[in-house]
Amino acid sequence: MGIFAHYFETVIIMSIEREKKTIAVMIQMYCKSKHQTISLCDDCKELLDYANKKIDYCKWKESKPTCKKCPTHCYKPDMKKKIKKVMRYSGPRLLLKHPILLIKHVLK
């Protein structure tokens, strides 16, 4: 594998991991506030597992936009509704708690 191919693969992996970290932080913030839990409740754990699976199998991998801007909406309707609630709640709060993560997510 050439150096550029290796670099490109590394950038893709970093992007996917950042996406997973962002969604995990958002779900944790939501769950802690709405469900008054320290660790994720079963519903939020299921949502996080589902989101990570969708990120792993995203057909756009290297050029994956944020879900809101994605031309392919791959979430099932019930999960889409749940993740929208999480994002509406957690998105603005990322600015105070995780500003760098938010900036990287928005600039994607």
The pLDDT averaged over each successive group of 10 residues in the chain (108 residues) is 51 75 94 94 98 89 73 90 95 84 68
What are the two backbone dihedrals, phi and then psi, of residue 8, each rounded to the nearest 5 degrees?
-60, -45
Query: Which pLDDT score, from 0 to 100, does residue 7 have?
Result: 44
Q: What length is written for the chain?
A: 108
Query: Which pLDDT score, from 0 to 100, does residue 3 have?
Result: 58
For CA atoms 63, 67, 70, 76, the dihedral sign is positive
> Which spans in 1-108 are helix H?
3-34, 42-56, 77-97, 99-107
Query: Which pLDDT score, from 0 to 100, does residue 2 have?
Result: 62
Query: Which pLDDT score, from 0 to 100, does residue 85 have?
Result: 96
CA distance 108 to 51: 18
- Strands, DSSP E only, in the chain? none
pTM, two decimals, is 0.81
